[in-house]
Structure 1
């Protein structure tokens, strides 16, 4: 690069700068490995008035050089052989990305397989524990069965050593206890059922005591009689209602007999007949409630029907 002063001006205010002989050596085959690349040279001649600011001069030079380099780069990239190489590079990059994704999937599958193996190991451990528990349960059942057999043998031995009198006494005690339970259930249910009727007839509390006590005693006797009358024929509806009606008639007529005497007149006879029907109906309702309570307790096995055990008679005979 040389600078030639203008002959017309000795001291020019803005000196002129001339750029000459700028050589660029560019190989025709930049991607080959030849030992002596063939190069082209070209010359750029720039003349004109440059700014006095050196920064502006450097910026213009840089812009010029960058434009030239960009053009050469575009030219190199647009060549057919270079485009094939770039396409191959893109395809290789795509294959690398695909390989990375496949590798990530394989790692994920390996991680899932590892977790599955751990889960299978845990299941095997649980299965072993369950087998041990089942063995312990079988052993416990065996021990329980042996204990039940030994207990049955002891009971049989004890029964065999019991005398006939002792057996009969034990049987009677059981029957008495069940009769007491039947009387208690019937008395409670019947008294509660007859309480509203007694409240309608009593004027004060003192008048309520005697009818309630009579109903309590009557229902207790009805419970014992009901158990011995029905026995194990629990589905016989006529027997149940017949027992209740019998007690209702007896108690109702007894209540009617305790009233004023009947005279041989139509009015007196009709009055006593109506009053007797009312007494019988009230007592029938009370004893029906007591019968329902007894039947319910027998079906729930709270109360045992008569006889208590079906094999007691056979045992006594033997």
Structure 2
């Protein structure tokens, strides 16, 4: 099939194809704000090279379609800009922005509420655990109260048994038990006094003895004297522990007796001034040495009585009163 060339499209030095008065009408239905439809006309001038050797001019449909698309997109962009720049549309856009911000704030608040809900659940679990622990503690306290009640009942029953035993004891058995206790306390008093007095008298004995063998006799005498002093001190002071004169008087009496007995064991006194003076001075030294020993023993006994290690005389006041009656 042959085609005949169009005489109007014959090759000229400046070939051109004119597309004149291309009108495009944009309908106004999508844009309600437009009062009337506007038509825009534009002319597109394209120039293409001549294709082929026969001098025929050819039009490229691809290039022509791309120009139409660009033209239409430019028109649409202009219309969109006009719509966006209008005041009523700006109000709508501002409302849209504010709505978007409110949605974001609502999302944040929702996240906070979810976190608070998780924390509340954790707190509820912790409270449940505390309640369980409190119930366990209450059960333990009940068990302790029951155990205390059992212990008190056992103590009461034991006390009743002891009272029954005491009531069943005869008067002679009570006196025997009382005497045994008093003897034991007297032995403790003698032991304390002997130990403390002997230790206090060792420095004095060292100054008077030249050999160790010479310490045996004075140490034994001091030990026995202090043991007797302890027993006498307990019976003399009794429960009058704050009587200082009674304590020092007992110590002084033993010191005078032992000091004068030591002086009497020495050389006899002659009826001369020198002998009398010498014996008086020696007796004062002996009495002072023994007074120091017995004062130390008295302090040791008083300290043990106040600590409760040694009981004063009498141990039981009710027994002593009944005996005195």
With normalisation by structure 2, the TM-score equals: 0.72
Gaps of 5+ in 2: 1-10, 15-19, 47-69
- 1:128 aligned onto 2:138: no
Instruction: Report how many aligned residue pairs link the two structures.
Output: 289
User: SS of 2:317's equivalent?
Assistant: coil
Does the CA contact (< 8 Å) of 1:167 and 1:316 recur in 2?
A: no
Following TM superposition, by how much is the alpha carbon of 1:301 offset from its aligned partner in structure 2, in angstroms? 1.4
The one of 77, 82, 87 equivalent to 1:80 is 87
Q: Identify the range of structure 1 (188-197 vs 220-229) with the bigger mean alpha-carbon deviation.
A: 188-197
The one of 247, 252, 259 equivalent to 2:259 is 252
- 1:184 aligned onto 2:191: yes
Q: Identify the range of structure 1 (300-309 vs 147-156) with the bigger mean alpha-carbon deviation.
A: 147-156
C-alpha spacing 1:168/1:81, structure 2 compared with 1 (3 Å): same
Distance in 2, matches of 1:280 and 1:242, equals 13
C-alpha spacing 1:256/1:87, structure 2 compared with 1 (3 Å): farther
Counterpart position of 2:158:
151
The one of 151, 168, 171 equivalent to 1:161 is 168
- 1:142 aligned onto 2:152: no
Following TM superposition, by how much is the alpha carbon of 1:285 offset from its aligned partner in structure 2, in angstroms? 1.8
- 1:170 aligned onto 2:171: no
Distance in 2, matches of 1:77 and 1:169, equals 124
Distance in 2, matches of 1:199 and 1:79, equals 127
C-alpha spacing 1:106/1:165, structure 2 compared with 1 (3 Å): same
Does the CA contact (< 8 Å) of 1:21 and 1:44 recur in 2?
A: yes
C-alpha spacing 1:41/1:273, structure 2 compared with 1 (3 Å): farther
- Root-mean-square deviation (CA, aligned residues, Å) is 4.1
Distance in 2, matches of 1:98 and 1:38, equals 43
User: SS of 1:191's equivalent?
Assistant: helix
Following TM superposition, by how much is the alpha carbon of 1:247 offset from its aligned partner in structure 2, in angstroms? 1.1
C-alpha spacing 1:218/1:88, structure 2 compared with 1 (3 Å): same
User: SS of 1:311's equivalent?
Assistant: helix
C-alpha spacing 1:179/1:91, structure 2 compared with 1 (3 Å): same
C-alpha spacing 1:181/1:82, structure 2 compared with 1 (3 Å): same
C-alpha spacing 1:134/1:275, structure 2 compared with 1 (3 Å): same
Distance in 1, matches of 2:25 and 2:275, equals 154
C-alpha spacing 1:21/1:255, structure 2 compared with 1 (3 Å): farther
- 1:94 aligned onto 2:101: yes
Does the CA contact (< 8 Å) of 1:256 and 1:279 recur in 2?
A: yes
Distance in 2, matches of 1:208 and 1:110, equals 93
Distance in 2, matches of 1:113 and 1:215, equals 85
With normalisation by structure 1, the TM-score equals: 0.73
Counterpart position of 2:228:
221
